[in-house]
Amino acid sequence: KQILNSGFDYDDPNRVNVKRRQITHFRIEHDFKEGFPILQTKKVFWNGAINELKAFLSGYTDVRELKQLKINFWDKDVANFHNCKVEEVGKQNKNYDMGKIYSYQMRNWQGQFDQIQNLVKTLRENPYATKKIVTMWNPLEVYNKEMCLSPCHWSWEALVDGDKNLTIKWNQASTDVFLGLPINIVYYSTLCHVLARLTGLKPKGIIGDLTNVHIYHNHFEAVFEQ
Residues annotated as part of the active site: 152
Q: Centre a 10 Å sphere on the Cβ of residue 115 and count the other Cβ atoms it contains.
A: 16
Count the helices and strands in the chain (H runs, E runs).
Answer: 9, 7
Q: Which helix (H) or strand (E) holds 36?
A: none
**115-125 vs 180-199: helix crossing angle, rounded to 10:** 50
CA distance 203 to 221: 36
Question: In the chain, which ranges are continuous DSSP H helix?
Answer: 2-6, 46-57, 63-68, 75-82, 102-107, 115-125, 139-143, 180-199, 220-225
The answer to whether the beta carbons of residues 135 and 150 sit under 8 Å apart is no
